[in-house]
Every structure is written in structure tokens, then in C-alpha cells.
Amino acid sequence: MKVNTKSIEVREKDRQALELRKAGASYEVIAKQLGYADSSGAYKSVQRSMKTIIAEPTDELRQVEYERLNQILLILWERVQQGELGAIDRALSVMDRISKMYGLEAPKQTEIKQQITQGVMIVDGSKEEYLQAIRQEIDGVAVS
């Protein structure tokens, strides 16, 4: 596999920019020290570095967090089976956290009711549903 030397240099420069920023350096100082034309180049470099750092370990971190939460459930489970209300409450909280972490919550379904009488629109629902109904009416889409 061929290694792109330019890419390695850019990543190293991004890493240096992030280290300087963490140390409290302004973007102007980072630009001067690392040879960027202006502070926007330093800003972009720091942002690239942060995205790389955050994106790479996310799946690993999620797995570690799941293992921790699962361990807590295992510890609580005997007390849950004995009907201890405090343990049940805690177990439900842990399960809720796991569900949110993996996006297992089903989206809430809402019903939109709309009636148009002589240019008057009556919509039951949220603000977003109201705005959507108005947009559909403007676009000529019939919704019942």
C-alpha cells in the first residue's frame, strides 16, 4: 500500500495545531507558528484534527459504555427478580440509557387532522405539523 506523504504531513500539522489550541494559543498565533496564511487556515486545521479524534473512537467508546451498563444490569438483576422496587427503577434507567445510546426509541407518531372551510384552515397538532399543513396547502397538496 502506497502511503501519501502529503496526507501524513497534513495530519501532523493538524495535530500540532490542535495541541497549540489546547495550550491556549489563538488561531493567529497557530497560523504564524505553523505557516498558515491566516487564522482561518489554523481554524480549519484544528477542526479537521478534532473531527478525526472524535470520529475514530466513537464505536469503541459506545461498546465500552454498553459493557459498563450491562455489568450494572447484571449486578441489579437478582434484586430486580426479587421485586425490589429501587432495583427495578435503577434497572429501567440503565435500560433506557442503553436504548437511547443505540437509538432504539421508536419515533413518536402523531395524527394530523385538517379541515379547510372557505380558506380557513384548522389544524390539530404541534407547531411543526401546523407549518407542514400550511406548506402543503400552498403547494396544492390535499391532506385529509
Q: Which of 13-17, 68-72, 127-131 has the lowest mean pLDDT?
A: 127-131
- Alpha-carbon gap, residue 61 to 73, rounded angstroms: 18
50 & 64 share domain: no
50 & 66 share domain: no
Which position has the higher pLDDT, 103 or 78? 78
Tell the burial category of 17 from Cβ atoms under 10 Å away from its Cβ (0-12, 13-18, 19+): buried
66 & 46 share domain: no
Three-state DSSP at 125 gives coil
Q: How many domains does the chain have?
A: 3
Which residues constitute the domain of residue 9? 5-55
CB 110 within 8 A of CB 129: yes
97 & 119 share domain: no
14 & 29 share domain: yes
**pLDDT tens string 84-97:** 999 999 999 999 99
**pLDDT tens string 29-76:** 999 999 999 999 999 999 998 887 766 667 777 888 889 999 999 999
Three-state DSSP at 122 gives strand
74 & 96 share domain: yes
97 & 121 share domain: no
45 & 64 share domain: no
Three-state DSSP at 120 gives strand
- Alpha-carbon gap, residue 47 to 53, rounded angstroms: 10
User: How much is the pTM?
Assistant: 0.39
